[in-house]
Each structure stands twice: as C-alpha cells, then as structure tokens.
Amino acid sequence: MIKIAITTGDPAGIGYEITSKVLRFIELKKNILYVVYGKMQIYNNGNPICMIDNIDMAVSSDKIYWIKIDENNIKIGKPTKKSGEIAYEILERCSANLNSKKLDAVVTCPISKEAIHHSHPEFIGHTEFFAQRSKTKEVIMSFWGPHFNLALLTTHLAVADVPGLLTKAFLETRFRLIYQEVCKLLKKPKIAMLAINPHAGESGAFGKEDILVKSVLDELSQKNIIIDGPFPADTFFSRKASQYDLIISAFHDQGLVPFKMLSADEGVNVTLGLPFIRTSVDHGTAFDIAGKGIASEKSLLHAIKFSEKLLFPSQKTRKENYSVFAEYYDDYMSHVHYERWVQFILDQYNKSHKRNPSKILELACGTANVSSLLVKKGLNVDASDISAEMLKVAALKPFCPNLSRKEMTAELPTNSYDLVLLLFDSINYLQKIKEIDLLLSNVHDSLKKGGLFIFDVTTSKNCEQNFDGFLNIEDSQDNYFIHQSEFDSTSNIQTTYITFFIKKGFLFSRFDEVHIQKIYKAEELIDFIERTKFLLKGIYSIDYDDNLLNKDIKTLDINFTRLFFILEK
C-alpha cells in the first residue's frame, strides 16, 4: 500500500490548519494511506483520526494516521526558536521514514527558515534538506500550475551570487537533470529557458552570461536535449509562455513572481531528482492569519493530488462536481423553503409513528440545509455527501450534523436509522438501474423495522417547463456565472452546464461542471421499489395533501414537477 506523508510545518503557522481541513473530508482510497507528521486540529466528524507512535502502526486506509510532534506552549502566529525546533524535528522524523522506504511520498506545509535558523543555522529550505538527507547530489525545484510549469536553475540563492555559479559544467548538469526529470512526467516536453539579463544581454552589451547559456543549449541540442532560448524574460510570459510545457527560470523570483501571481492557490511545488516524491504548497506560513480559521487549504489539496498523480500516472482523475459551485450553492438555492421541506418530512414520519425519529441519515446532503434544520430541532442526524467542498460548507453551519464523505450508494450500518432521506432529486443522478437497486438495498438494511425512506425526484414536466433551454447568467465584480440546461425527452436525460469565471489576482479563471440526471417516470420507480422488501406507503407533492398513489400513476409525471416517495421497512 502506498503511504503519503503530510508534514504540517511550523506549529505557529497555518500548516496544521490547512492539513486538518484537507484531510477532514478527503476521499480515502484503498491503495493510499495518509500519515500526518506534526500538529493537527481534531474535528468531531469527518474522516477518523488515529494517533500512532511510529509509521509501522499505519496499516489501514480507512482512517488518517497522525504522528504527533508538537508542544502545548506554542503561541499561534508567533514563530519562536521552539516552533522552529519542532518544525525541524518533523522533517527529521519524516525524512528518516522516507530514506528507510517506509514512505513513498511527502507533501510539505510551510516552515519558517528564520525560526529554524535559531537552532539550525545551516538550514536553507525543504528542497536542500531532503536532498542532503537522501544523499542526492542534484535536485531541481519546480512548480506546476494551471497556466504554466516552472523549473528553477538555482534555488534559494542571493541574486548577487547567481552569475558566479553559472559555469559551463553547472549549466550542462542542471539542464540535463531538468530535461531527464521532466521527461518522466511529460511526453516529449517543449522547454524554454529565460535569459538572465535584460533583453538576453543584447549580444553581450550588458552581461555575457546569456551567451554562455546559449552555447550550452546549442551543444545539448546536438544530443537531442532540446531546450529553446534564452528568451528575454520581460516579454516571454505575455507572448510565448503558452507555447511551452515547462519554463526554466535562472533564479528564484524571476519565474516565481509571475507563477504565484497567475496560479494563486492552485500551484504545486515539486522537487525533481529525489529518490521519492516530494510536493509542497506554493505559499508561506502566513503567521498573520494563523489560528483565525480562514487559511485556504486549496494549494495543499492540489499538492496531495499531484503526488498521487505522480505515484499513479495511469490512474484517471475523477472530475468532481460542486468543487467550485459549492461555495455559491446556498446563495443560488436561497429561494428554497427548507423549513417547509423539513416540516413535510417530519409530518410524514409522525403520521406513521406519532413521534419524531430518534436517528436520521441524510444521503447526498450537499451543504446540509435540511440536516442542520433537523439538528436545530434537537434531532440526532448523520449526513453524508460525495463532495468534500459541499461538506466543508456544511461543517461551518451552527447546527451541523455528524458529517462524513460517502457516495449515496455506499454500504451503510445495519438497523441503525429510523429515517433515511435522499432529497433534491439526488436519486436522478443514478443513471443505471443496478445503482438504484443497490441504493434501495443498502437503505433497507440500514433502517430499523418500521423505519422510513423518503426520497424525491424531478419529473419530465419540471424539466420541460423549467429547464429545457434554460439559461441564467449572473455577473458580479469578481465572478461571472452561467447556468444552462437542456432536456432530451427521447433519452429522458437532463444535462446542466455550469460555468464560472472567477477573478484570482489580476486574471479570471474558468471552471466548468456538467451535471447529468436521468429523469425516471413514476411507473419505473414503482417497479424498482416493488423488487425490494420495502412497502410503498405513498407518493406526494409538497403542495398537494392527498396521497397520489390513489391517482392514475401515468399522469403524475405530467401533472407534478416534483414527487416525494415514502417507503417503509
């Protein structure tokens, strides 16, 4: 089983906060095991956390493991010699496990070099530390993002020291290593080198370093190591950057200023040349916001996913809906009368049992608007969803249910619930009959005898009247949102396209989501239910008091826009 370490960095910074946020609802995969080194914030829901003393105790992928390296007297936001010592110890413990092959990859959170220098003045940075500990002579600091990828010719080095380092031997070694390592990640990569001097030195008029760089690149090209350049850096990013798979920057800030400006919180730092995979966030400790709960974990999530991509290059990445929409979902759904839905649900249960349910489960809970209202009424509620981003929004609500990340068809605990809910036409996302059969079977097993399963569906009438040819555009200063839908009455498939243009720094980034729903007829759903051990007690419209089971079933899809099915075990 693959083991990925996450080091939380300086305990006074934001590393522990973003680590805890990411791992709370991260998808737990059967072939990957996550181990945290350092400090963590423990939540009362989400993925289970197991504290261990050493890496050998991490054996199962159904939980997050934590090797605690911390002290209680560290003041958040205030780096000290002690916080630096802890950050260094975290790296020491992790690197020992990496070198002994007990870990396959490490994802690092930010450290304070100043804090570490109090006790370890020789420390330069993560890149140099892992190279030294693994006895790797040459490594490359690289950065991978949505707009362009970058490799640094030199790392943490004073600008004044760069020219003296640029010998023919140094350049040839670095260019060879960059080319070899990038070829492991990209097929036939197109690589460019930035010039060191303004205007590439104007043929030696001010600086001869670029003449040397050009001669080395020409020699390497004869050996099929193709790197174009050097190109003047002042115009390269506006005119040529999009033509290349990777750009080589002569020194740290030359490439990282545009990279961090454009990549925002989506960039990933990758150390090339190590005997193991090392990725990192592309930001610092942010002591000014540490402990305030507002630090973004997005760069860390990208770093973890990038390490998994390097470990499993042939594994397809699942496109996650609601990854961006989650942040805007509650505003977009503000027209829904959630209190009315909750009252309808409880009325249905009380009709059968003359009391409220003792324990409730909501599947595909989204941002938990229904579940949180049920908790507010004093009820015991578990809620799950496949979207980590939706769950993160749900977790911030004052009456938060017990949250977990699961697919709606996942296996459930047996004989545990009085009431199971699946709302807002979530069942329409199941496009295969075997998926619905699995859902119904799992829910039946999870209910106590006499328990109810309530789900709703959108109907063809709703799709034809309200969503076929639907277009909605919302524009604000920093966001532009487009919602389009179409309904194919032949296949009974409704497709929704959601596009966001979100301003990040100086640029707008585009994000697309596609939602596909199968619109089942009431007759079909009744057939599915009749194959189970459930008793279908009723079909309702929230605006209509009568049980629609007493009506002509074939007319329900054309007379009502939404139907609620009430099933009893």
Q: How many CB atoms lie within 10 A of CB 151?
A: 25
In 3-state terms the chain splits into helix, strand, coil percentages (rounded to 5) of 35, 25, 35
> How is the chain split into domains, by residue range?
1-135+274-317, 137-271, 326-461+518-568, 469-517
165 pLDDT more than 90: no
Contact 563, 522 (CB under 8 A): yes
Quote the mean pLDDT of the chain: 93
pLDDT of amino acid 192: 95
Give the CATH number of domain 137-271.
3.40.718.10
Alpha-carbon distance of 458 to 427, in angstroms, equals 9
Q: What is the pLDDT of residues 180-217, one digit of tens each?
A: 999 988 989 999 999 988 887 777 778 888 899 999 99
User: What are the tens digits of pLDDT across the range 501-517?
Assistant: 988 777 888 889 999 99
**DSSP secondary structure string, 359-426?**
EEEEES-TT-HHHHHHHHTT-EEEEEES-HHHHHHHHTSTT--EEEE--TTS---TT-EEEEEE-TTG
Query: Do 137-271 and 326-461+518-568 show the same overall fold?
Result: no
pLDDT at 378: 96
Q: What is the mean pLDDT of residues 100-123?
A: 96
What is the Cα 490 distance to its own chain's centre?
36
Residue 410 vs residues 29, 68, 392, 436, 567: alpha-carbon distances, Å: 14, 31, 20, 12, 19
E strands of 394-532, at which residues? 402-405, 417-422, 447-458, 470-475, 479-488, 493-504, 507-518
Superfamily of domain 326-461+518-568: Vaccinia Virus protein VP39 (3.40.50.150)
State the fold for domain 1-135+274-317: Isopropylmalate Dehydrogenase (3.40.718)
For 373-418, write each residue's pLDDT tens digit. 999 999 999 999 999 999 999 999 999 999 999 999 999 999 999 9
For residue 353, give every residue at least 6 positions away whose Cβ sits within 8 Å of its Cβ, in sequence order, or none.
Answer: 418, 450
Contact 445, 414 (CB under 8 A): yes
Residue 543 has pLDDT above 80, yes or no: yes
Q: What is the per-residue pLDDT for 568?
A: 97
pLDDT, position 476: 83
pLDDT at residue 159, rounded to an integer: 85
The per-type count for the chain, helices as H runs and strands as E runs, is 18, 23
Which residues, at least 6 apart from 264, have a Cβ–Cβ distance to it below 8 Å? 504, 505, 509
Span 324-367, pLDDT tens digits: 889 889 998 999 999 999 999 999 999 989 999 999 999 999 99
Selecting from 3.40.50.1000, 3.30.505.50, 1.10.287.1080, 2.20.25.110, what CATH number does the domain 469-517 have? Answer: 2.20.25.110
**Residues 532/444, Cβ–Cβ less than 8 Å:** yes
- Mean pLDDT, residues 240-247 taken together: 93
